[in-house]
Amino acid sequence: MKKRLPKIGFHFFCTIIYVFLLAPIVVVLMSSLTATDYIVFPPKGLTLRWYVELVNHPEFMQSFMLSVFVALGTSLISTAIGTLTSIAIVRHQFKGKTAIVQLVGSPLLIPSVVFGVALLQFYSWIGLAASPAALIIGHIILTIPFVMRLVVASLVGFDRSIEQAAMNLGAGKFRVFFQITLPIIKSGVIAGAIFSFITSFDDLTVALFIVSTDVVTLPVRIFTYMQYQYDPIITSVSSIMILLTIVLMIIIERVLGVGKVFASKNQ
Amino acid sequence: MMQKKRKKTKKQLETWALLLPILVIFIFFFLLPLFFLFITSFKTFDASSGIANEWTIQNYVKFLSDPFYLGIVWRTVKIALLTTIITIVISYPVAFHISKANGRIKNYLTLLVLSPLLISMVIRCYGWSILLSNNGVVNNTLMSLGWIDKPLTLLYTELSVVIGMVHVLFPYMVLSIMGSLERIDPSVIRASQNLGAGPVRTFFSIVLPLTLPGIFAGSVMVFSLSVSSFVTPAILGGPQVKVMSYLAYEQAAVLLNWPYGAAIGFLLIFIATITIIMYSKILVRSEKGVAIQ
Amino acid sequence: MSYLCLENLVKTFNKTEVVKKLNLEIKQGELVSFLGPSGCGKTTTLNMIAGFTEVDEGKIVVDGKPVHLLPPNKREMGMVFQNYALFPHMTVFDNVAYGLKLSKIGKSETQRRVLEALEMVRLSGYEKRYPKELSGGQQQRVSLARALVIKPKLLLLDEPLSNLDAKLRQEMREEIVEIQKNVGITTIFVTHDQEEALAISDRIAVMYEGRIEQADSPVSIYNHPKTDFVSRFIGEVNQIQGKVTEILGTHQSKLNFYGNEQIVAVNAMKNAEMDFFIRPENIQISLVETNDRNIGFKAKVERKMFLGAKTRYILKAQNKHLIADISNVVLNSNLIHEGSSVYAAWKPEHLLPSRNVR
């Protein structure tokens, strides 16, 4: 009995933290069902009226589509460029390698606010208007360090004799890359793609500087809306996003195995 | 020999072909913008055009000599420090709990801890603002328990910002500590028990020291992310709890005083970099210690 | 007519010559081992033949055609790697079929040849497994099947057995020789294990510091080493010195070892000190003095070690140590104790002259 008490205390503590982790998410999901005109928790009454109300707010759908487009573009380009760079860094010897490694990792050290201001100033000088492309470029910079980390990790442990074996059997350079190398480092590359999609989709700070009145990503839309309006429509939008994320995660888990994705992230 | 040289240049060409896309994008859309912003931070403000063509260091002087602004620096650092400390304290048990769990449960717990990372930061902070508002759950519960008569101001305080930051940055710390916990060779723990140390003793004399590098690495990440974070203080602190990133945003995007916003931004970079350098020095030392052990 | 010809191969890494003007000719169907300590250039040479390492100078000719300028994927060589290098994301079948698919061989033909190759390495029925579901020995066999199925001009084996445990290693090496002889393929086998090289090779190329010291049949390598390095590297040797006391003619001299004289077939100069090597198993010992022409000298047994079929005696004579391995069938080891005096002897034809000029 004496021994079990601390153990129970420990489990209790951990459970509280798990509750703490889920609390804001659960709160958002539940308050979206309120019948009141204002946000309240626990919800009063149960209704889906705030989901129906979304029909009157097509701007959220527009922003959602824009965010998905930007996130997809970012994820594709960032993963492609990140993989090429990782290959050069892991497998080639060249002057200035450390400088490039540091340059590519440095967006992690620069606060997004500063990068956002810098990008806004630069865009206005060169006359690049708010557009999906302008957003994608900014997000590529933000996500490349993560992609690089994941892909470099999967390349470092790579046994090059596997590639030699393929070459020995008659495969050319490109064939070796697409048939042997890429499938083997797949989990790192896919983890990088997922991570950059999420980062881009979630980004508020940089987008806040780049958006205009008709090019608004979803996080920016939600952020500005909740500063001026207090109706629960934000909770229904957020709930849909949370549910979409969960569905997406289940799909990824089914296709890839989340364990794998997170395992490589852990490195 | 000729042939060897030609092959070498071919290999070099390949290297630069691989690096070309990243160099183009980083030079044009990262280094150049930051460089121009740096220059802007040394220009004077002009109400009509934003940036006047005059050099000055007044932006930095103004910030560093005004107690109001220095107070904001202190608040930024204070919030980051509090966040880091609280994160360590609550992440360690969780990391321990997860690394002790086995098989399926372990996977699910890891997923549970990491899942907040997948859900938009804006939404998570929004959830906290519902919880902490004057008629939110926390206040309602406290009042119905009769502990307080009128709602406490929880939202738009340093407390709400810290709570939000801990929630946002918690997974990074757990991952980092879990990494170092799992690197511990189980035989080391068995050896300690074999030599007569109880579980508590083993934890404090063996496990904790061996996980210090993980704690340090996690702290660097959490501290630098919270010092420069914008979303959480913007939603849970707002104008009432201004931190440096919010100030930079306000100056540049709301008041359109670009030079001043730029200067604040570079001071923020400076603070973040200094901490990282300090931390990594400690990290190197502690890792050496572990290597010796 | 040689099938593979290495002519004056040179490879330099970071200004260090790893392979120095290496020459070797290999006949069709021959199994040649590259044997040497690590860093001797054997793997670099193999990689040059396979095309993974560029040739700085010299030529590689296979079947009359120079190949050293071709990329590895055009050389038609089958290679088996030390760590097997199987494609982890493909089944056993797909691994073996990979090379055939690349050379655009039809589906039914591919199917037939893959199954045939797997049967040859006794892995029929494993087609659908993934590499990680196989044991080390099985993985190595898949690797062998994958290399052989494309009917390469040359089979290259890069320390293929070094990741296997001792017993499996012996089984596998016999299997490899059997398959190699059945297929009749010219093979290069890189190893640092001399026992392995002696057991399987038609010829051994002993390498040291980027050069081939001697390329010969295992028997010649062991019994007639041409250089000091080969003498020392293959088997074990005692180094002994003798003083020339009399010249008896060309290739016939009388030498004094440990106070005893013996006629040895060497050219020498009077009063010169000469170094020789003698293998431990060629030293005989007895409890009584022998009178034959093999010199016998007195020695003390310092230690003895029972090694199963033989016993190893560490002898001391005139303050020098000698190792003698004596079969327990020839001499009952119970008769000799540590500290007892014995007579040691060897036949002059077992002396391996050292090239070391003193």
pLDDT of residue B4: 59
Question: Residue ranges of the domains in chain C?
Answer: 4-233, 238-353
Map tokens 């970071």 to a residue.
C14
Q: What is the DSSP string of C89-138?
A: TS-HHHHHHHHHHHTT--HHHHHHHHHHHHHHTT-TT-TT--GGGS-HHH
Specify the pairing of strand C260-264 against strand C252-257. Answer: antiparallel
The answer to whether residue B131 neighbours chain A at the CB level (below 8 Å) is: yes
Please answer yes or no on whether C98 and A169 come within 8 Å at the CB atom. Answer: yes
Write the DSSP symbol of residue C272. Answer: -
Query: Which residues of chain C does A188 touch, with a Cβ-Cβ cutoff of 8 Å?
Result: none
B135 at the A interface (CB within 8 A)? yes
> H helices of A106-257, where?
112-126, 132-156, 161-168, 173-176, 182-184, 186-202, 205-210, 218-228, 233-255
For residue A40, pLDDT over 80 is answered with: no
State how far Cα A39 lies from the chain centre. Answer: 28
Q: Are C10 and C57 in contact (CB under 8 A)?
A: yes
Q: Where residue C91 falls among pLDDT bands split at 50, 70, 90?
A: very high
Letter for the amino acid at C204?
I
Class of CATH domain A58-266:
mainly alpha
Whether the Cβ atoms of residue A195 and residue A204 lie closer than 8 Å to each other: no
Q: What is the CA radius of gyration of chain C?
A: 25
Other C-beta atoms closer than 10 Å to the C-beta of C101 total 15
The alpha-carbon gap from C79 to the nearest alpha carbon of chain A, in Å, equals 7
| Domain ranges, ordered by start, for chain A | 58-266
Rounded CA separation C321/A139 (Å): 75
d(CA C279, CA C224): 12
As a three-state string, the secondary structure of B185-251 is CHHHHHHHHHCCCCHHHHHHHHHHHHHHHHHHHHHHHHHHHHHHCCHHHHHHHHHHHCCHHHHHHHH
Taking an 8 Å cut-off on Cβ atoms, the answer to whether C82 and A170 are in contact is no
**How distant is the Cα of B139 from the closest Cα of chain A, in angstroms?**
11
Q: Which residue of B has its CA nearest to C54?
A: B4
Residue A235, number of CB atoms within 10 A of its CB? 27
Query: Rounded to an integer, what distance in angstroms lies between the CA atom of residue C86 and that of residue C80?
Result: 10
Can you read off the two tokens belonging to residue A178? 């697409």
Q: Are C253 and C267 in contact (CB under 8 A)?
A: yes
Interatomic CA distance for residues C154 and C8, integer angstroms: 20
Contacts of B3 in chain C (CB under 8 A): 69
Relative to beta strand C203-208, strand C211-216 is antiparallel
| HEC secondary structure over A71-111 | HHHHHHHHHHHHHHHHHHHHHCCCCCHHHHHHHHHHHHCCC
Give the architecture-level CATH label for domain C4-233: 3-Layer(aba) Sandwich (3.40)
pLDDT category of residue A134 using cuts at 50, 70 and 90: very high
Q: Is the peptide bond before A42 cis (omega within 30 degrees of 0)?
A: yes
The CB density around residue A184, as the number of other CB atoms within 10 Å, is 19
d(CA C328, CA C326): 6
Q: What is the pLDDT of residue B3?
A: 56
| CB-based contact, A10 to chain B, within 8 Å | yes
The strand order across the sheet containing C252-257 reads C260-264, C252-257, C238-249, C273-278, C352-353
Mutate to test the interface with C, among A161, A162, A164, A168 (most CBs of C within 10 A): A168
Per-residue pLDDT, B293: 37
CA distance B118 to chain A (A): 7
Q: What is the mean pLDDT of chain A?
A: 87
- Contact yes or no for C102 and A183 at CB 8 A: no
Task: Note whether C76 contacts A170, CB cutoff 8 Å.
Answer: yes
Q: Across the interface, do B122 and A202 touch by the CB < 8 Å criterion?
A: yes
The sign one gets for the Cα dihedral B112, B114, B115, B121 is positive
The pLDDT score that the predictor gives to residue A263 is 46
What CATH class is the domain B66-292?
A: mainly alpha
In terms of CA atoms, which chain B residue is nearest residue A14? B94
Tens of pLDDT along A157-191? 888 899 999 999 989 889 999 999 999 998 889 98
Cβ count within 10 A of residue A111? 24
Interchain proximity C87–A162, CB inside 8 Å: yes
The one-letter amino acid code at C332 reads: N
Query: Using the beta-carbon criterion (under 8 Å), do C74 and A170 form an inter-chain contact?
Result: yes
pLDDT of A45 reads 81
For domain C238-353, is the CATH number 3.20.10.10?
A: no
Interchain pair C54, B1: CB under 8 A: no
User: Which residues of C fall within a CB distance of 8 Å from A169?
Assistant: 73, 78, 98-99, 102, 146-147, 150
Q: Answer yes or no: is pLDDT of C358 > 50.
A: no
Which of C201, C155, C182, C164 lies closest to C46, judged by CA?
Answer: C155
Contact map slice: C 63-82 vs B, CB within 8 A: 69
- Sorting pLDDT into bands at 50, 70 and 90, what band is C199? very high
Burial of B259 (0-12, 13-18, 19+ CB in 10 A): buried
* Mean per-residue pLDDT, A226-239: 86
- Nearest by CB to C98, which of A161, A166, A183? A166
Reference C162, options C49, C11, C42; nearest CA is C42
Cα separation of A208 and A116, whole Å?
A: 8
Per-residue pLDDT of chain B (293 residues; tens, 9 = 90+): 455 566 678 888 889 999 999 999 999 999 999 999 999 999 998 877 778 888 999 999 999 999 999 999 999 999 999 999 999 999 999 998 888 888 788 888 888 888 778 888 899 999 999 888 887 788 888 888 888 888 888 889 999 999 999 999 999 999 999 988 988 888 887 888 788 777 788 888 888 888 888 898 888 889 989 998 999 999 999 888 999 999 999 998 888 899 999 999 999 999 888 878 887 777 677 665 554 43
B224–A262 C-beta distance less than 8 A: no
Closest C-alpha among C143, C201, C192, C140 to residue C171: C140
Give chain C positions within 8 Å (CB) of B1.
56-57
Q: Sort out which chain B residues have CB atoms less than 8 A from C69's CB and list them.
A: 3
Average the pLDDT over C324-351 and give the result: 86
Distance from CA of C22 to the nearest CA of A (A): 23
Angle between helices C136-148 and A161-168 (to 10 degrees): 30
Q: Does B102 touch chain A (CB under 8 A)?
A: no
Chain B nearest C-alpha distance from C76 (Å): 22
Instruction: Please write the tens of the pLDDT for every residue from C306-316.
Output: 888 899 999 98
Using a CB-CB distance cutoff of 8 angstroms, which residues of chain A are in contact with residue B135? Answer: 40
**Closest-approach residue (CA) in chain A for C144:** A165
Name the minimum distance, in Å, from the CA of C13 to any CA of chain B: 12
pLDDT of residue C299 exceeding 50, the answer is yes
DSSP C242: E
- For the segment C116-144, the average pLDDT, to the nearest whole number, is 93
Strand order in the sheet with C57-62: C16-26, C4-13, C57-62, C65-66
User: How far is C-alpha C112 from the chain's CA centre?
Assistant: 36
pLDDT tens digits along A72-122: 999 999 999 999 999 999 999 888 899 999 999 889 889 999 999 999 999
Determine the distance in angstroms separating the CA of A92 from the nearest CA of chain B, rounded to an integer.
7
Interchain CB contact of A165 with B (< 8 Å): no
- The pTM score is 0.82
| Residues with Cβ within 8 Å of residue B82, at least 6 apart in sequence | B162
Q: Hey, what's the torsion of the CAs at C119, C123, C126, C131, to 10 degrees?
A: -130
- CA dist C21 and C6 (Å) reads 9
Contacting partners of chain A (3+ CB pairs under 8 A): B, C
Cβ contacts from B onto C, under 8 A:
6
